[in-house]
Amino acid sequence: MYEHLAQAPDIENLEHQGYVTLALGEPACALIDEIAELTLTFFRQDDEVKSADSIRHLHEGWQPFGGEFSITPDRPDLHESFWVTRRNATRAAATYSSMGRALHAKMVQHLSIMQHLEADITRDIRRHLGLEDVKESAIDGPLDADLQVLYYQPQRQHRDLLQDEHEDGLYMTLTWADSPGLEILGPNGVFHGLSQGRGRVSVLPGEILSLMSGCRIKPMIHRVRRHAEQLERLSINYFAVPDLDRSADIEKWIACPQHGAVSVADRIRHNRSQFLVQ
């Protein structure tokens, strides 16, 4: 139980303050340090070199600047990224350069740690919601998951927001960053910065978790503000969503009168098709 954390999180915060912050144990912190060091070396290369480590049809490896968006393709997110997906990671590994392969291998390790944490969090959410006796569903098994490292160069940009406000449309996001910028929408309707730093991973619920929980847990709306003094900013983001290959439909844990007619599987399919510039 929470073998990768320094202390167990207070899961009630997901319902009452909208997010919860995890304190990673030292081995998981050290792995992030290694990923950050490799990532900075990787992203500082020329685009032509990085493109050799890009497998776009698999959503694996390097994605160039402006390849994703939060709300509209007219306002791309102002970062580059490196992706590892649970689905394609093994297939992708063989094609990378030595640097791409080294980064990929560390990211696969981090993805695995985040998957364990996500399963522990789900168990505690179910306990918090009083669902121990409610039938498990596809969401209680291994989920589909991606890990992305995002690389920003805030000083080179001009917009106030490096990512516009959005919610991730998934089940759960676990996010870490090396410096400030992430802001979340508080219950008073005001955005405020989330404290990040070494060993601190924030759990942000998405729409799918909200639907599963009968809307007791709300999707967390967030954005990334530009801090002009930052030359570089890294974030590492784990995104999880139920695997529709394992189950054609997903029964909600708690029915929600407001969204009773919404199919969880349909929302997953719809949300999955968003956010990428073609």
Note whether 68 binds Fe ion by CB under 5 A.
Answer: no
- The nearest distance, CB 233 to Fe ion, in angstroms, is 14
Q: How far is the CB of 265 from Fe ion (least distance, A)?
A: 22
200-259 residues near Fe ion, rule: CB under 5 A: none
Q: Which is nearer to Fe ion, 144 or 168 (CB)?
A: 168
Q: Which is nearer to Fe ion, 173 or 252 (CB)?
A: 173
Q: Using the minimum distance from each CB to Fe ion, give the nearer residue, 53 or 168.
A: 168
**Gap between the Cα atoms of 123 and 221, Å rounded:** 23
In the complex, minimum distance from the CB of residue 180 to Fe ion, in angstroms, rounded to a whole number? 16
- Concatenated DSSP letters for the chain? --TTBSS---THHHHHTS-EEEEB-HHHHHHHHHHHHHHHHHHTS-HHHHGGGEEGGGTEEEE-TT-BBSS-TTSB-S-EEEEEETTTHHHHHTTS-HHHHHHHHHHHHHHHHHHHHHHHHHHHHHHHTT-TTSPP-GGGSPPEEEEEEEEE-GGG--SSEEEEEE---SSEEEEEESSS-EEEE-TTS-EEEPP-BTTEEEEEE-HHHHHHTTTSSPPPPEEEE--TT-S-EEEEEEEEE--TTT-S----SS--GGGTT--HHHHHHHHHT-SB--
Instruction: Name the residue nearer to Fe ion (CB basis): 166 or 227.
Output: 166
Min CB(239)–Fe ion separation in Å: 8
Count of residues near Fe ion by CB under 5 A: 1
Rounded least distance, CB 24 to Fe ion, Å: 20
Among residues 128 and 227, whose Cβ is nearest to Fe ion?
A: 227
Q: Of 219, 196, 194, nearest to 29 (Cα)?
A: 196
Tokens of 17: 């303050």
| Nearest-angstrom CA–CA distance, 59 and 72 | 20
96 versus 176: smaller Cβ distance to Fe ion: 176
Closer CB to Fe ion, 129 or 217, in the complex: 217
Q: Which residue is nearest to Fe ion (CB)?
A: 168
Q: Compare residues 89 and 150 and give the one whose CB is closer to Fe ion.
A: 150
CB of 161 to Fe ion, least distance (A): 12
> Minimum distance from CB of 27 to Fe ion (Å)?
26
Show the site string, 158-187: x = touches Fe ion by CB under 5 A, - = not.
Answer: ----------x-------------------
Tell me how crowded residue 6 is: count the other CB atoms within 10 A of its CB.
Answer: 13
Residues 6 or more apart whose CB falls under 8 angstroms from that of 156 comprise none
**Smallest distance, Fe ion to C-beta of residue 81, A:** 12
Q: Which residue ranges make up the site for Fe ion (CB under 5 A)? A: 168
